[in-house]
C-alpha cells in the first residue's frame, strides 16, 4: 500500500514522536492471528516505515486491543518507553475506554454496573460469563447507561473498567440485550445490518507517556449504517457528525 492509502485506512487522529492514535476499521484484527489476515499493527508499522523511510523492522508497541468486529479509537506506542508507560496505565485502570453499542432489546435497568467473571475458550474463541469466580476466570467490570431506544433497539454508553476479550459483547448479552449484528453472542441479525457488530470505541483517554498531558480522542461511529443511523448520536455523545 502507498502512504496515502495507509493514511486513509488508518484515519490518523494524532501523531508525535511517542504515540500514534488511529481509528481502527471494523473487521480487521488488532494484531496478527491464525487467519493470516492483515492486521492493524502491521498497517501502522508499514505507515511508519514508509513515512520515515526506516530500514529493517519498525518498532510499534501494541498496548491494547479492540476485538476484530469493533472499530474506533486506538493508541500505539512509537517507543519502548512509551509502550511501558501506557501499558502501566492500562494495568492500573487509568485509561478511559468508552464505547457505543446498539443492542437488540432493552435491559430492565436503564443504567448500572455489570460485574462477572469471564473465561475464554482459546480453541473456540468464545468467552463465557459466570456470576462467581471459577477456574481460570478473570473479573470483568463495566458501567453502562441506556441513552436511547428505538423500535426494540437500545443505544448504550459503555464504560469499560476492565479490558477483557469480548467483554462488552458477553456482558451486554448477559443482560438479555445482545449487541446488534453479533452472531457469536446473540445471533441477533437484522436485515440491513451490513455484517458489522454495532460496537464502537468512541472515546479513548490517557496521559501522554512523556508530556503527562491528558489526551482524549473521540470518534464518530459509521453513522450512515444501520443501526447507527436510527439514533441522534450527536445529541448523546457531544461529537460533531463528520461531513
- Please state, in angstroms and rounded to a whole number, the distance separating the CA atoms of residues 111 and 117: 20
- The single residue of 16, 37, 39, 67 carrying the catalytic annotation is 67
Q: Among 216, 190, 213, which Cα is nearest to 203's?
A: 216
Cell of 95: 485509561
Q: What angle do CA 159, 163, 164 make, to 5 degrees?
A: 125
Specify which residues 139 forms β-bridges with.
117
Kindly provide the b/e burial profile for residues 183-194, where b requires at least 16 CB atoms within 10 angstroms of the residue's own CB.
Answer: ebbbebeeeebe
9 phi and psi angles, rounded to 5 deg: -70, -40
Q: Clarify whether 16 is annotated catalytic.
A: no
Which residues are tagged catalytic?
Answer: 67
Amino acid at each position: 500500500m502507498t502512504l496515502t492509502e495507509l493514511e486513509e485506512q488508518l484515519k490518523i487522529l494524532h501523531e508525535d514522536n511517542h504515540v500514534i492514535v488511529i481509528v481502527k476499521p471494523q473487521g480487521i484484527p488488532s494484531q496478527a492471528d491464525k487467519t493470516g489476515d492483515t492486521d492493524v499493527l502491521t498497517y501502522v508499522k508499514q505507515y511508519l516505515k514508509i513515512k520515515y523511510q526506516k530500514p529493517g523492522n519498525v518498532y510499534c508497541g501494541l498496548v491494547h486491543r479492540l476485538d476484530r468486529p469493533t472499530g474506533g479509537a486506538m493508541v500505539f506506542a512509537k517507543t519502548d518507553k512509551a509502550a511501558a508507560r501506557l501499558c502501566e496505565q492500562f494495568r492500573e485502570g487509568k485509561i478511559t475506554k468508552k464505547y457505543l453499542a446498539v443492542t437488540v432489546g432493552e435491559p430492565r435497568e436503564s443504567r448500572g454496573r455489570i460485574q462477572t467473571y469471564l473465561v475464554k475458550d482459546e480453541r473456540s474463541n468464545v468467552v463465557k460469563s459466570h456470576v462467581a469466580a471459577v477456574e481460570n476466570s478473570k473479573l470483568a467490570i463495566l458501567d453502562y447507561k441506556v441513552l436511547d431506544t428505538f423500535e426494540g433497539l437500545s443505544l448504550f454508553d459503555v464504560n469499560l473498567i476492565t479490558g477483557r476479550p469480548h467483554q462488552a459483547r458477553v456482558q451486554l448479552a448477559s443482560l438479555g440485550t445482545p449487541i446488534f449484528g453479533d452472531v457469536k453472542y446473540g445471533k441477533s441479525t437484522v436485515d440491513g445490518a451490513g455484517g458489522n457488530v454495532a460496537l464502537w470505541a468512541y472515546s479513548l483517554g490517557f496521559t501522554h507517556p512523556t508530556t503527562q498531558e491528558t489526551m482524549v480522542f473521540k470518534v464518530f461511529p459509521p453513522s450512515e449504517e444501520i443501526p447507527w443511523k436510527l439514533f441522534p448520536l450527536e445529541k448523546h455523545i457531544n461529537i460533531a457528525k463528520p461531513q
